[in-house]
Structure 1
Amino acid sequence: MGGRIARLTRFGAAVFGVAFGVSLLMPAVPAAAHNQLTGSSPRDGARVAEAPERVELRFLARLDEDTTKVTVTGPDNVDAAGGEPRFSGNRVSVPFTPGAAGLYVVGYRLVSGDGHPITGEVRFTLTTGTPADPTPEPTAAADPTAIGTAASTPAPVTPEAATPMPMSDESSGGGWWWAAVAVLLLLAVLAAARLIRRRAARRG
């Protein structure tokens, strides 16, 4: 009798272990389907003196060209994208057209493999920009009888960093996965109990 109980106990423990292992693996499925940014060039927050030819974004999973949008804006919200984006697996790059020195924002929007839209941005600062047009010097009055008049020179305009619209990543809830794991564990326990009763009835 004691040996039979020990065998049934070991069998129940094995079933519970298998169910627990499955529950640990299940949350990895939605995580793999949910895409996210893994890196960029220039990196987020970088300060660069030499403007790059292209801006590149790298993601966790392959990108869909039809649902992925990338924008590049510079100071005063000036468009700094020099062409259409180029895709290569999980990477996308956009030609960069530098303007004035200041903050540049690379915004992206894509649809993840689980159907959820993801938005975000990468910011970097260009420390050197294209030179501004020279301001013409004011000419003196041609009338020799005119008493000296002060000519005012307009103050140089300092480019201000653009203030992009904030973009936030959308996260997906995963509560239903834990509910599925709980149901799976319950079914495993019920199956083990039923098998124990059946074996006990056969040997009783």
Structure 2
Amino acid sequence: MLMAATEFMKRAFTKGPSNSLQSVLSVVDDYAFDRRHRLDTRSEVAIRDLDISDEDKQHADKYKPTRARYFRKIMAKLNLPLEGVCVDVGCGKGRVLLLAAEHGFDQVVGLEISQALCEIAKRNVATFQEGTPTASSIKVVCTNILDYEMKGSETVFFLYSPFDHAVTKSFLAMIRQSLNDHPRDLWLIIDEFRFPELLEDDELLKKTHVYEYGSAIFHVYQHQS
């Protein structure tokens, strides 16, 4: 935990005083969010500690939650429609699911390959809903993303760099196929996008924003039907 915090602060302070302050405030917000709602979303989980197969570990990244402050900022920036389904890909312990419900999305779905993290996410969702009445439907699905069947109702996909190049490429192909099968407006939001070349000059998903806040760099892509 200490090493993770040290690495986070090191990254934050390399971006200048404004970003450094944003990063420090985000840490305080995360602590307050968990404490206020009696949640467990803050602690990271290393790849070696995930209860997934060795093969899946080769394609995965550790669980590290999106900062609550960062998510709220990018939502305010984009002003997305709240109808449809917001999907957090690699939802981990469920923080983004709760923030998306708090933001007002009609339906929120979290996809996670780790059964242990899914159980934590479900507990967090139940605890959150007990103390925070919301009209949003929140669902946690334990699945490998490559086994997920697109419904055609997904309108927002959110990712915090959960996969390697190969799985990311396959996932993007799934989105393209879904858009061809079920034309609709769709937004793809990726923090720490390590493979932007996969969407360079893409015919369906056009880059609309690159937004920096604190230590986050959000790449936003949109498809207009």
Normalised by the length of structure 2, the TM-score is: 0.20
- The structure with the greater share of residues assigned to helix is 2
Normalised by the length of structure 1, the TM-score is: 0.22
Q: Which has the larger radius of gyration?
A: 1
